[in-house]
Amino acid sequence: MSQAAISSSATAVPLSQANAIAVVQKEICSLGVYSLADGKSLAQLPLPEQSHELVITADNRHAFIAQYGVKKWLAPGVGGNVITVVDMQQLKVINTIDLTPYHRLHGIRLDDKGRLFVLSETSSVLIRFDDPVNNDEPDAIIPVNGARSHYFVLNKAGDRAWVSDTLSGMAISVNTEDPTQPVHKVLNGKGPEGCCLSPDEKRFYIINRYGNAIKAYEATSMKLLHQAVTQGESVRVVALKNGNLVVANSARKSLLIYSPELKFIKEIALSAAPTAITLTDNDERVITSTEDNKLTWVDIGQGKLLNIINTDKGADASVLFNHAV
């Protein structure tokens, strides 16, 4: 479960330019790459145990995949400590970055400068790489000052992050350029997890996975603006370019659509519980990963399910890309 990871995964290349999709298949520890033309597998690349989130560079050349190492954030265990680097044109693993002593690596983002940010849940720090392809030593370790920091969203400039701190119930705003500046914490609810920014980056949206709520905050002040019920356990939220929100509701096995002010618009039934949402450049199309091991193109406007690609077990975050080789 994936900027706009957000796959919830990274913002994709335009659909007209994409010819492939890569998805983390966390139950079999692999990255599955599939053709958009016919759904056939182009590659199955091995990943460390329970890798979850991924991002891809703007040139479609490299992907970075974070190893969480356990099935879910309530599970026991130290968790994973590796970032896997994949050449997406050669379709092969080219590097692994060991981030010991930082573990349970989950949220992962790229800013507009190409800097990579990785969130260690148990250490509650953001780890920054300024040139992640060529240098696997961190350039900065940024304290979040949370208790169990599971997921985050980053603005385009990369100078501020908003973090879901699951077991404390907090949402935390962090200045990533100047860690001497105090973080801004608000008590959000039970199990905050999926989150995103509005297209203009003025609002921060966050789901309470076990609190049956989605909330909107003013991004700078963290003042609560709006809230709504989510009709049961939900895991991810993404913002369309028109400002509407798409929520992955696992309890109802559906997508819930809200206005920017969190007025409920519609529900779209899926074949199984969604684990991730990938945006496209078309506001009428998103791609969902579901627990029945499918990637499904969803027409938001018409509320219809379109193309389906069958994946291997544990489909989670995905990215569209152009495979030129």
Instruction: Categorise residue 222: left if φ over 0, alpha if ψ from -120 to 50, beta otherwise.
Output: left
Angstrom distances, CA of residue 109 to CA of 77, 127, 262? 24, 11, 25
Whether residue 275 has pLDDT greater than 50 = yes
Report pLDDT for 2.
35
What's the pLDDT tens digit per position in 143-164? Answer: 999 999 999 999 999 999 999 9
Whether residue 133 has pLDDT greater than 70 = yes
| Average of per-residue pLDDT across 296-309 | 95
What's the pLDDT tens digit per position in 162-210? Answer: 999 999 999 999 999 999 999 999 999 999 999 999 999 999 999 999 9
Whether residue 247 has pLDDT greater than 70 = yes
| Average of per-residue pLDDT across 225-231 | 97
- Does residue 207 contact residue 219 with C-beta atoms inside 8 Å? no
Report pLDDT for 201.
98
Banded pLDDT at 13 (limits 50, 70, 90): low
Distance CA 63, CA 91 (A): 10
Report pLDDT for 283.
81
DSSP for 227-253, written as a single string: EEE-SS-EEEEEE-TTS-EEEEETTTT
Distance CA 101, CA 65 (A): 18
Report pLDDT for 310.
97
- Does residue 65 contact residue 53 with C-beta atoms inside 8 Å? yes
Q: Which two tokens stand for residue 285?
A: 């199309």
| Average of per-residue pLDDT across 128-152 | 96
Whether residue 288 has pLDDT greater than 80 = yes
**Tally of CB atoms within 10 A around 48:** 18
Q: Which residue did the predictor score with more confidence, 30 or 16?
A: 30
* Prediction pTM value: 0.94
Distance CA 204, CA 255 (A): 19
**Tally of CB atoms within 10 A around 58:** 11
Give the residue among 245, 230, 268, 247 at the shortest CA–CA distance from 198: 245
Whether residue 287 has pLDDT greater than 70 = yes
Whether residue 62 has pLDDT greater than 70 = yes
| Mean of pLDDT over the chain | 93
Whether residue 268 has pLDDT greater than 70 = yes
Distance CA 300, CA 294 (A): 18
Banded pLDDT at 3 (limits 50, 70, 90): very low
| Average of per-residue pLDDT across 217-231 | 97
Q: Which residue did the predictor score with more confidence, 1 or 41?
A: 41
Banded pLDDT at 17 (limits 50, 70, 90): confident
Percentage of residues in the chain with pLDDT exceeding 70? 94
Banded pLDDT at 6 (limits 50, 70, 90): very low
